[in-house]
Amino acid sequence: MCGATGQAVLRRPYRIQESELIGLKTPVGDWLTVPAEVELGIRSSGDADYIFLFNYSAKSAAIRAKKAMKELLTGKLIDNDAEIPPYGVMIIELNK
């Protein structure tokens, strides 16, 4: 699908591990590591990308960021390790 800017936009959430299994390079794989139980979705708007992380586990899920990012629900800066609570959600904003 094409977004308003004419760029291709992935509309279906996917898991990083599934994409790598079939040989696709993920758009966040170089700077964000998430466990298998976390689903990732990407949306773009204007001058920012939004990364949605959904933890489908009854346990906290650890993520690792290799660059600084702003988590919108808490307003905190994530610059290394962070945890998504059980069945929790994180929304990360990345300026383009």
Looking at the DSSP bridge assignments, the partners of residue 63 are: 82
pLDDT in tens, the chain (96 residues): 444 554 544 444 455 555 556 665 667 777 888 888 999 899 989 888 899 999 999 999 999 998 899 999 999 999 899 999 999 999 999 887
pLDDT at 11: 46
pLDDT at 55: 95
CB hemisphere CA count around 96 (13 angstroms): 8
Q: 14 burial class (0-12, 13-18, 19+ CB within 10 angstroms)?
A: middle
pLDDT at 52: 95
CATH homologous superfamily, domain 16-95: Golgi alpha-mannosidase II (2.60.40.1180)
What ranges do the domains of the chain cover?
16-95
Please name the helix (run of DSSP H) or strand (run of DSSP E) that holds residue 19, with its range, or none: helix 16-21
Question: What residue type is assigned to position 47 of the chain?
Answer: D
User: CA–CA separation, 57 vs 7, rounded Å?
Assistant: 33
pTM: 0.72
Structure tokens at 30: 């170089």
